Protein backbone atom coordinates (compact mmCIF):
# COMPACT_ATOMS: atom_id res chain seq x y z
CA UNK A 1 0.00 0.00 0.00
CA UNK A 2 1.19 3.49 -0.85
CA UNK A 3 0.37 6.57 1.22
CA UNK A 4 -0.02 9.78 -0.77
CA UNK A 5 0.75 13.41 -0.12
CA UNK A 6 -1.76 16.22 -0.42
CA UNK A 7 -0.18 17.51 -3.64
CA UNK A 8 -0.93 14.24 -5.49
CA UNK A 9 -4.63 14.52 -4.69
CA UNK A 10 -4.73 18.28 -5.28
CA UNK A 11 -3.29 17.84 -8.80
CA UNK A 12 -5.96 15.26 -9.68
CA UNK A 13 -8.84 17.25 -8.18
CA UNK A 14 -7.91 20.68 -9.55
CA UNK A 15 -6.17 19.63 -12.77
CA UNK A 16 -4.24 22.91 -12.48
CA UNK A 17 -1.16 21.29 -13.99
CA UNK A 18 -2.38 18.86 -16.64
CA UNK A 19 0.90 16.99 -16.94
CA UNK A 20 1.19 16.44 -13.18
CA UNK A 21 -2.51 15.60 -12.90
CA UNK A 22 -2.11 12.92 -15.57
CA UNK A 23 1.00 11.52 -13.88
CA UNK A 24 -0.75 11.48 -10.49
CA UNK A 25 -3.87 9.77 -11.85
CA UNK A 26 -1.80 7.16 -13.71
CA UNK A 27 0.26 6.52 -10.57
CA UNK A 28 -2.86 5.99 -8.42
CA UNK A 29 -4.37 3.63 -11.00
CA UNK A 30 -1.23 1.47 -10.85
CA UNK A 31 -1.51 1.03 -7.07
CA UNK A 32 -3.38 -1.87 -5.50
CA UNK A 33 -4.24 0.25 -2.46
CA UNK A 34 -3.73 3.94 -1.70
CA UNK A 35 -3.73 5.22 1.88
CA UNK A 36 -4.95 8.75 2.64
CA UNK A 37 -4.23 9.99 6.14
CA UNK A 38 -6.49 12.34 8.09
CA UNK A 39 -3.77 14.98 8.06
CA UNK A 40 -3.68 14.81 4.26
CA UNK A 41 -7.44 15.38 4.15
CA UNK A 42 -7.13 18.26 6.59
CA UNK A 43 -4.48 19.91 4.44
CA UNK A 44 -6.35 19.12 1.22
CA UNK A 45 -9.51 20.83 2.43
CA UNK A 46 -7.47 23.89 3.40
CA UNK A 47 -5.65 23.98 0.04
CA UNK A 48 -8.88 23.60 -1.95
CA UNK A 49 -10.67 26.26 0.10
CA UNK A 50 -7.88 28.82 0.43
CA UNK A 51 -5.69 28.40 -2.64
CA UNK A 52 -8.35 27.33 -5.14
CA UNK A 53 -11.37 29.08 -3.60
CA UNK A 54 -13.47 25.91 -3.56
CA UNK A 55 -16.82 26.22 -1.82
CA UNK A 56 -17.71 23.70 0.89
CA UNK A 57 -19.98 21.98 -1.65
CA UNK A 58 -17.10 21.63 -4.11
CA UNK A 59 -14.83 20.29 -1.38
CA UNK A 60 -17.50 17.78 -0.36
CA UNK A 61 -17.93 16.67 -3.98
CA UNK A 62 -14.16 16.15 -4.33
CA UNK A 63 -14.01 14.20 -1.06
CA UNK A 64 -16.99 12.07 -2.13
CA UNK A 65 -15.14 11.09 -5.31
CA UNK A 66 -12.15 10.18 -3.17
CA UNK A 67 -14.30 8.11 -0.79
CA UNK A 68 -15.90 6.31 -3.73
CA UNK A 69 -12.57 5.35 -5.32
CA UNK A 70 -12.16 1.58 -5.00
CA UNK A 71 -8.46 1.41 -4.18
CA UNK A 72 -8.45 4.29 -1.65
CA UNK A 73 -8.26 3.55 2.06
CA UNK A 74 -8.84 6.44 4.45
CA UNK A 75 -7.34 6.61 7.89
CA UNK A 76 -10.20 6.13 10.35
CA UNK A 77 -12.81 6.16 7.61
CA UNK A 78 -15.78 6.25 10.02
CA UNK A 79 -14.28 9.27 11.79
CA UNK A 80 -13.72 11.05 8.47
CA UNK A 81 -17.27 10.22 7.35
CA UNK A 82 -18.67 11.74 10.55
CA UNK A 83 -16.51 14.83 10.13
CA UNK A 84 -17.77 15.24 6.57
CA UNK A 85 -21.39 15.02 7.74
CA UNK A 86 -20.79 17.83 10.24
CA UNK A 87 -18.88 19.81 7.64
CA UNK A 88 -21.84 19.47 5.29
CA UNK A 89 -24.04 20.89 8.07
CA UNK A 90 -21.89 24.00 8.41
CA UNK A 91 -19.11 23.14 10.85
CA UNK A 92 -15.56 23.98 9.77
CA UNK A 93 -13.82 20.87 8.40
CA UNK A 94 -10.85 21.08 10.78
CA UNK A 95 -13.19 21.49 13.76
CA UNK A 96 -15.34 18.63 12.48
CA UNK A 97 -12.33 16.37 12.20
CA UNK A 98 -11.08 17.39 15.65
CA UNK A 99 -14.48 16.63 17.22
CA UNK A 100 -14.94 13.36 15.36
CA UNK A 101 -11.42 12.28 16.32
CA UNK A 102 -12.14 13.04 19.98
CA UNK A 103 -14.99 10.56 19.82
CA UNK A 104 -18.29 10.48 21.65
CA UNK A 105 -16.87 9.86 25.14
CA UNK A 106 -14.37 12.73 25.40
CA UNK A 107 -15.07 16.41 25.95
CA UNK A 108 -13.45 18.81 23.49
CA UNK A 109 -12.15 21.98 25.13
CA UNK A 110 -11.92 25.20 23.13
CA UNK A 111 -11.85 28.97 23.46
CA UNK A 112 -14.16 29.12 20.41
CA UNK A 113 -17.66 29.86 21.73
CA UNK A 114 -19.12 29.82 18.21
CA UNK A 115 -17.72 26.32 17.65
CA UNK A 116 -19.23 25.24 20.95
CA UNK A 117 -22.67 26.60 20.05
CA UNK A 118 -22.69 25.05 16.56
CA UNK A 119 -21.36 21.73 17.84
CA UNK A 120 -24.12 21.62 20.43
CA UNK A 121 -26.74 22.54 17.83
CA UNK A 122 -25.52 19.71 15.56
CA UNK A 123 -25.03 17.30 18.46
CA UNK A 124 -21.43 17.06 17.30
CA UNK A 125 -19.76 15.76 20.41
CA UNK A 126 -19.30 17.18 23.86
CA UNK A 127 -17.64 20.58 23.88
CA UNK A 128 -16.71 22.93 26.65
CA UNK A 129 -15.56 26.53 26.46
CA UNK A 130 -12.50 27.33 28.55
Domain for residue 40, yes or no? Answer: yes
Which residues are 34's β-sheet partners? 2, 72
How many CA atoms does the CB half-sphere of 113 hold within 13 Å? 0
Domain for residue 126, yes or no? Answer: no
User: Tens digits of per-residue pLDDT, 14-54?
Assistant: 999 999 999 999 999 999 999 999 999 999 999 999 999 99
User: Tens digits of per-residue pLDDT, 67-118?
Assistant: 888 899 999 999 999 999 999 999 999 999 999 999 888 899 999 999 999 9
Q: Please tell me the total number of residues recorded for the chain in this structure.
A: 130
Nearest by Cα to 80 from 65, 62, 93, 61: 93
Domain for residue 22, yes or no? Answer: yes
pLDDT at residue 123 in the model: 87
Q: Is the whole-model pTM more than 0.85? A: yes
pLDDT at residue 124 in the model: 87
Range of the domain at 69: 2-75
Q: Please count the structural domains in the chain.
A: 1
pLDDT at residue 2 in the model: 95
d(CA 95, CA 87): 9
d(CA 109, CA 128): 5
Domain for residue 106, yes or no? Answer: no
Instruction: Write the CATH number for 9.
Output: 3.40.50.1010
Amino acid sequence: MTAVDTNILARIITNDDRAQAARAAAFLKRQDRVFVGKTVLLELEWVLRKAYRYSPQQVLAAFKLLLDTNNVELEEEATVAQALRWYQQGLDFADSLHLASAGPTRKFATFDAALHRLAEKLNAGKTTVV
